[in-house]
Structure 1
Amino acid sequence: MHKLLGVFFLVWFSLQVNAQDSLAVVQDTAKTHSWKRAALFSAVIPGSGQIYNHIAMPKGKKKAYWKVPLIYAGLGATTYFVVKNNILKNDFRSEYESRKIGNAPSNFLEYDDQSLLTLYTTHRNKRDFAILGLGLVYLLNIVDAAVEAHFVNFDISEDLSLSIHPTMYNSSSYGVSFQFKFR
């Protein structure tokens, strides 16, 4: 009986210690929501920083997850344009090089050599702009996650107000007055 009671207290004590340790971990993570971690998550897997911020937000304010489909749509669209314009650029270049070594036109019969060079340059520039767009979407994903992480615990109270009123300083001077109230 004493051994069974001893095992019971040992298990009960270890469960109490584990519960306190896990409670301390939960309290620490709630206090230390890091913008660096959100930015790192979004840099590794785009959109994961927004999910990280969404999970950390208080119950009534959870609104960060809706940006993830937009991020992937932006990344997908810009990647599509990069690939499409790169393929067209390579096709125009190979056709031009094929004509220069004496082969008959095969793919682009309606274009002469100068038109092929112009189309090559146009699609190369479009590809380069699409690469810049891809980088911009990726960078905006990271910046959005970092900025939103700053607002996870941001409190907007009902006691804040701004009043704008027209004001007359004298008979010939008019203006606008702003009044901020913090309660």
Structure 2
Amino acid sequence: MKGQFLKVLLFIFVLSNTTFAQEETTVLKANDTISVEINPLAPSKAAFFSAILPGLGQAYNKKYWKIPIVYGALSISVYNYVDQNKKYNGFRDEYKKRIDGTSLYENDSFYGDFSDDSVLRAQRFHQRNRDMSLLFTSLIYILNIVDANVDAHLMQFNVNDNLSFKPDVRMNEFNTNANVGLLLKYNF
């Protein structure tokens, strides 16, 4: 009888505590929370704009200072491609003329100094440089698209003074040497 009484008393105790805990509900709400609407399609939109017109994705992200860098890099690599292609075609045409026997390289002021082997090596040299210029142009174009995409992703992150990573230089009290370190600060 005493064992049953303890079981009933324990059951009532457990039941009363769970019902008591369910009656009171407390909702905590932060007063300083700032609601920012995040557009999940912004990175793909910025990448699409940069794929259509290089630099347009950077303008969409409002990073206007990157646009001259994109166009400067693309124009240098395209200029180098055009220049190397022109030189390659010139040496190729001269080599073909020498094989046919129609070349007047003795009278030519530019190609007259080159032997047949030198013309062939110059042709291959400019062909390799032309191909490398095309590769660099493609890489710069792809980097432009990736930069716009990553920059649009990073704009969605909350970066404020509550999370900071700063270099810190302090003087050592014992020998007056500068101690360099990094400070990681995170506030809740």
**TM-score of Structure 1 vs Structure 2, range by shorter chain:** 0.5 to 0.7
1:182 and 2:181 equivalent?
no
Indicate the percent of aligned positions where both proteins have the same amino acid: 36
What is the TM-score normalised by the length of structure 2?
Answer: 0.65
Deviation at residue 177 of structure 1 after TM alignment: 10
- Determine the C-alpha separation between the residues in 1 that align with 2:49 and 2:182: 45
1:74 and 2:82 equivalent?
no
Deviation digits for residues 80-127 of structure 1, max 9, x if unmatched? 011100110010010011011112214500001000000000000000
Matches within 5 A, 1:1-183: 31-32=38-39, 34-54=42-62, 64-103=63-102, 104-105=104-105, 106=108, 107-161=110-164, 180-183=185-188
Per the alignment, do residues 179 and 43 of structure 1 end up closer, same or farther by CA in structure 2, a change over 3 Å counting?
closer
- Determine the C-alpha separation between the residues in 1 that align with 2:151 and 2:163: 21
- Determine the C-alpha separation between the residues in 2 that align with 1:145 and 1:97: 46
Cα root mean square deviation, aligned: 2.3
Deviation digits for residues 61-84 of structure 1, max 9, x if unmatched? xxx110001101111110001110
What is the TM-score normalised by the length of structure 1?
Answer: 0.67
Deviation at residue 178 of structure 1 after TM alignment: 7.5
Can you give the 5+ residue segments of structure 1 that lack an aligned partner in the other structure?
1-29, 55-63, 165-175
> What is the SS of the residue equivalent to 2:85?
helix
> What is the SS of the residue equivalent to 2:139?
helix
**Which residue of structure 2 aligns with residue 8 of structure 1?**
none
Can you give the 5+ residue segments of structure 2 that lack an aligned partner in the other structure?
1-36, 169-180
- Determine the C-alpha separation between the residues in 1 that align with 2:89 and 2:150: 40
Question: In proportion to residue count, which structure has more helix?
Answer: 1
Deviation at residue 34 of structure 1 after TM alignment: 1.3
Matched length? 136
- Determine the C-alpha separation between the residues in 1 that align with 2:65 and 2:91: 40
1:86 counterpart letter in structure 2? N
